[in-house]
Amino acid sequence: MKNPIALLTLSMLVPVTASALPKAPFPDPLPFPDILDPQPPPPPPPGGGELPPLYVSSPSTGDRTTSSVAVSWHNSSAALAGLALERAASEDGPYATVQCWQPMNMSMDFGKVAGAASTGDCINAAHPGSFVDSGRSADALQCYRIRVWDAAGTQMTSLPSCAFTRAREPNERVAPWQARLMIETGDVGGAGTDDFIRIGLNDHMSNIQPHGDATWLDYPHDDFEAGSAFTYDLNLIEDFDDITKLSVYKDGTDDWCVSRMMLVVDRDTVVEQDFTDLPDGCRWLAGKDNLFEISHDELRAMDSWREFASLPPGFSIENSALVSIVEGAVGHIGYSTELYWNGDDDGAVIDPVDADTLHVDIQASASVEDWFDPTVRIEFDADIVVTCEPNKALGMFDVTLALLPTDPRVDAEGWTAELGEFLACTFEWDWNCLEEELADTVAANLPEFPSGSLQLSSCPDVHVDEFGSIIFSLG
C-alpha cells in the first residue's frame, strides 16, 4: 500500500481552514437517468395562441445555510389560481404547506381543492417564484414540491427537489485536502471483478443538493482481484459535511464480494466497514444487487464520523502520493473516454525538473473499435504555485499550493492520424482533436491536489526534491 504523505506532520501547528476547493470541471458520468432537473415552463403554443393550461414544474434549491434553503420555481400559467410551496423531510413525504399565494382576483372555490391550503393561510398576492425557507435544523434533508390549482379546482403537484441544510457555519467548515478509500476484496471463488466500480460521497440524483461527487476507480493494475486490497484516491469534495451518503456501485455483470472498506479523509478514518462475519466473509455486489450504500443518518451515527478531525498534510507530499493521485484521476476519466490502463507498463511517472517544477509522464492505452488499441503518452510540466497572505484575524498566514500544468501534449505512439480517424474527430477534419481533448481533460483534472488553504505561522518555502516529492519548510 502506498504511504500517502509525509513522515512528519504539522498537526500541532497547522489547523486546516475551511475553504472552497475547485471541483472537477468535467461532468461525472451517471448510470442513472437525471430525470428530475428543474424544468423551465413549457413554450407557448405555436402561432401565439392561448397560453397552455395549468402546468407545474419542479422547484430548484439554491443557497443553503445551517437553518435555511432558498427555493425557486417557474409558473406563469394564465390558468393559475393559486400556488403552494410544500415541504417534507424525505422525497416521499408527507408534505405540508410552507407558504401559499392566492391573488384575490382569482375566483375559486377552495372547497373543491382537497388538500390545498385554506384561504386564510394564503398570501393575497401572485406567487413570487422564490422563497427562503428558514427555521430549519442543521444538516437535515429538506424536500420541496409545488402544488398549483386553477379556478375550477384542478390541481397538479410537481416532482420534488431536495437539499441538505449545511452542517456548520462557513468559518467552521472543512474543505478536505485528501479523501482515500481502502477496499479489500474477499477470498472466495468469483469474489474478484473486472467491472468498473464507482464510489459516491453523496447522492447521484441531480434533484438532491449536494450530489454528483463520485469517482470511478481504476488503477494501472488488475483491480479488485480476490484477496487483494488497495487504497484509492477519490475526487475531492468542497465541504466535508457534503459527504451525505457513501455508496459503492458496480457497473457490469462480473459479481464482486467486498470484505472490508475504510474511508480516510485528511488522514482521519471516518468510516470502517467489515463484512468478514458474513457467510462468504464478504458482501456480494451481484446481479441487480449492485449498490451498497451507507445513508446520511447511518454515517452521522458513527463514532468515527462524529470524532472526525482533519489533519494537515505535513512537511512533504511524497512522490508515491502524487503518482497515486495522477493515476486515480486518469482512471476516473477513463470511464467516460477511450483512455484506459492496459497492463503493467501503463501508469504515471513524476520526475523533478527544477526547484518548483515537476514533469508528469503518463502512459495509458486507448480503446479503438475494430482496430488495435494504441499506447497513448500524455506529458506535461506542472509548476508549483504557492500563495501566502497574512490572516490578520488569526495572526497567521493563509497558504495555498497548486499544481499548474503547462503545455500538455499527447502522442499515440506513431499512430496519431489513425487514432484520430478511428475516433471522434473525423467530422471536424482534425485528426488530433481527440488527443488534444484528452490532454486538456487530464491536465485540468490533475492539479486538484493539494490545493486547499492551510494556515501557517509563517510563509513556507516549498520546493521539489531530487525524488520528485514536494517538501515544505517553515522559514
Q: Which residues bind Ca ion (CB under 5 A)?
A: 190, 193-194, 218, 222-224, 254-255, 341
Between 162 and 323, name the residue whose CB sits nearer to Ca ion. 323
Q: Which is nearer to Ca ion, 194 or 307 (CB)?
A: 194
Assigned C-alpha cell, 339? 483512455
- Give the whole-angstrom CA distance, residue 73 versus residue 59: 4
Task: Tell me the HSE value of 68 on the side-chain side, using a 13 A CA sphere.
Answer: 8
- Asked if 433 and 376 count as a contact pair (C-beta separation under 8 A), the reply is no
Edge to edge, the sheet with strand 196-200 lists: 214-217, 196-200, 246-251, 291-294
Q: For residue 422, what is the enclosing H or E element? A: helix 416-422
Nearest to 454 by CA among 383, 389, 404, 358: 389
Which residues are registered as beta bridge partners of 155? 149
User: Looking at beta carbons only, is 341 or 380 nearer to Ca ion?
Assistant: 341
Closest separation between CB of residue 450 and Ca ion, Å?
Answer: 24
Strands (E), 102-209: 122-123, 130-133, 141-150, 155-157, 161-164, 179-185, 196-200, 208-209
Supply the minimum distance, in Å, between the C-beta of residue 76 and Ca ion: 52
CB of residue 29 to Ca ion, shortest distance in Å: 17
Largest CA distance in the chain: 80
CB of 254 or CB of 379, closer to Ca ion: 254
Give the CA radius of gyration of the chain.
Answer: 26
For the bound state, the minimum distance from the C-beta of residue 68 to Ca ion, rounded and expressed in Å, comes to: 44
Bridge partners for 235 per DSSP: none
Measured CA angle at 409 (ends 405, 415), to 5 deg: 160
Q: How far is the CB of 250 from Ca ion (least distance, A)?
A: 10
User: What does the alpha-carbon distance between residue 224 and residue 331 come to, in Å, rounded to a whole number?
Assistant: 14
**Cβ density class 301-328: b for 16+ within 10 Å, e for less:** eeeebeebebbbbbbbbbbbbbbbbbbb
| CA angle (164 as vertex; 35, 176 as ends), nearest 5 | 105
Cβ atoms of 237 and 452 closer than 8 Å: no
CB 225, min distance to Ca ion, A: 5
Interatomic CA distance for residues 463 and 357, integer angstroms: 8
User: Among residues 176 and 331, whose Cβ is nearest to Ca ion?
Assistant: 331
Query: Whole-number minimum distance, CB 299 to Ca ion, in Å?
Result: 28
Residue closer to Ca ion by CB (options 129, 190) is: 190
- Cβ of residue 183: shortest distance to Ca ion, in angstroms? 12
Closer of 18 and 261 to Ca ion (Cβ) = 261
Other C-beta atoms closer than 10 Å to the C-beta of 122 total: 21
Closest CB to Ca ion among residues 74, 260: 260
* Cβ-based nearer residue to Ca ion, 187 or 254: 254
Q: How far is the CB of 464 from Ca ion (least distance, A)?
A: 28
Residue closer to Ca ion by CB (options 59, 186) is: 186
Three-state DSSP class for residue 379: strand
Residue keyed to cell 480516510: 264
User: d(Cα 423, Cα 297) in Å, to the nearest integer?
Assistant: 45
Nearer of residues 280 and 381 to Ca ion, judged by Cβ: 280
The residue type at 167: A
β-pairing, 122-123 vs 96-101, is: parallel
Rounded to a whole number of angstroms, the minimum distance from the CB of residue 327 to Ca ion is 9
- Looking at the Cβ atoms of 29 and 129, the one nearer to Ca ion is 29
The label of the residue with cell 386553477 reads 150
Supply the minimum distance, in Å, between the C-beta of residue 182 and Ca ion.
16
Distance of closest approach, residue 331 Cβ to Ca ion, in angstroms: 7
